[in-house]
Chain A
Amino acid sequence: MNCRFTEKISSLIDGELSPAETREVERHLLTCAQCEEARDDFLSLRSQITSFEATLPAAVQNRALAKILSAGERKKTSAAFGLGWRWILGTGALALASLAIVAVIIGLVYFQQPEQVAVKTTAPVPAPTLAPAPAASPAPTVEPEKTEKNEKESNAPQHQPTPRRSAPVREPKPGEQFAAIPENVRPADAQTMTALHFEKAENLLRAFRNVRLNEPDSAVEVSYERQRAQQLVYQNMMLRREADAAGDVQIGSLLESLEPILLDIANLPDKPDDDSVRVIRERVERKNIVALLQVNSTALARALD
């Protein structure tokens, strides 16, 4: 391939030469066997590369299109309900709507707590202000009241079970999402956290898959799964953002698929009907998400080794 025209042969077969150059090279081809051979070889290579067919089942293409279009829809919906990024930065009606939803959810959360929890949390507040009173004016009538009250206070927690901290998932207030979560989910090694997260999510989804349905005379019991999903959903949001920021498409996409499922489980009612559980299960099965979580958590763990 020593002929000075050989490079031009490449441009010739691409139609990138000017008419004058084309004529010149074509004339040269008539007399140079080396260049003619090069042209034939280049064209043969072209036919090899052009005949390459992508491995692309039709179902994959349809699924991809559906996913892209539904992602666009979901984005719109999440913006309206304040579940996405935008609600933090949103203005006007969007922010007000989000706050209203948050307020309602907080109200529901505290309304569902046992009443004595409120007594427990508010009772200690006046105690310090009462304490100096006997020293300043030792009125005997105050003492019985105080001891009675103290007795009541000290007894209350013994009779009352420890209040549960795990509230149903609510939408975080602006700023809270970032202020509260990083302590838990922003570790030195995001990959380790992601691997662990995938493992936990996988266990959760397996447990959810095994929840018993169609049991006569008993409601579906999903309190454990719901609580676990509540714990995982925030971590999922954070890891997804980290993956997106790092350009990790595969992990980001998997976390994105996982998130609505976690949210749905987290927001199941106390006694969900069979259909609600079944719908979520079907989605889990359809997305084949348990297998994907397993594969990715194993692969991440191996990569970390």
Chain B
Amino acid sequence: MASQDDEFTMLFQDFYPSLCRFLECLLGGRAPLAQDLAQESFLQLHRTAWGTLPPDEARFWLYRVARNLAINEFRKSNTRYRLFDRVVEAMRPAARNPEQEYETRERKELVLEMLQTLPEDQRAALLLREQEQLSYREIGQVLNISESKVKVDIFRARAALRERWSKRVKVAGASVS
């Protein structure tokens, strides 16, 4: 049992940060909620599937469960979490280097803002490809869709982001001049 827990701990240490990142991008920020959902995904893995699932599958299983939990969140009212997130944000200690922190936050917010313009399925497929570097087949496995749909979704997501990005650059250029 101890070795099972050790293996679980290793898996957790390896993938919990990635899962948090995936969920944070999928949810459009809301880091505390992303952390909770990532924790819940691991909890479900530990309770139900750990030991019965082939080790290679655990990662895909986690992303699948995490994404389903995120979809549940989309369906619910956001009020509760906005309030909760605001409280947690307010409790967070101040950054050590405010300038650097500001830049990082700006960049993050821009990425999140752009990602939020995509439909959820395209966003999930693109994130799994770019951040988690899963293959189209693996993404199809996680999202329960065909490889060809993965390919199309990722392309459409990129094309849409590219277009919005260039519009944004044009607007920024116009406002500077």
Contact = CB atoms under 8 A, between A and B. Distances in A.
B151 A11 contact: yes
Given A11-B151, A14-B136, A253-B36, A295 B87 contact: yes
The main secondary structure of chain A at its interface with chain B is helix
Interface residues of B, number: 59
B38 interface: yes
B108 interface: yes
Contacts of A298: 83
B123 to A, nearest CB: 10
Nearest to A57: B92
A186 to B, nearest CB: 21
B5 A69 contact: yes
A295 B107 contact: no
A181 interface: no
B67 interface: no
A42 B158 contact: yes
Interface in A45-68: 45-46, 48-56, 60-61, 64-65, 67-68
A144 interface: no
A53 B100 CA distance: 14
A1 B163 CA distance: 10
Nearest to A299: B80
B162 A253 contact: no
A56 B111 CA distance: 17
Contacts of B33: 250
A22 interface: no
A60 B21 CA distance: 14
Interface string B8-45: 11001100110011001100000101111111101100
B46 A72 contact: yes
B49 interface: no
A75 interface: yes
Given A42-B158, A64-B16, A295 B31 contact: no
A51 B107 contact: yes
A7 interface: yes
A41 B5 contact: no
A16 B154 CA distance: 12
Nearest to B105: A55
Contact of B35 (A53, A64, A72, A75): A64
B39 A64 contact: yes
Nearest to B42: A68
Given A10-B154, A52-B111, A253-B40, 6 more contacts: A11-B155, A14-B154, A46-B130, A54-B21, A69-B9, A71-B46
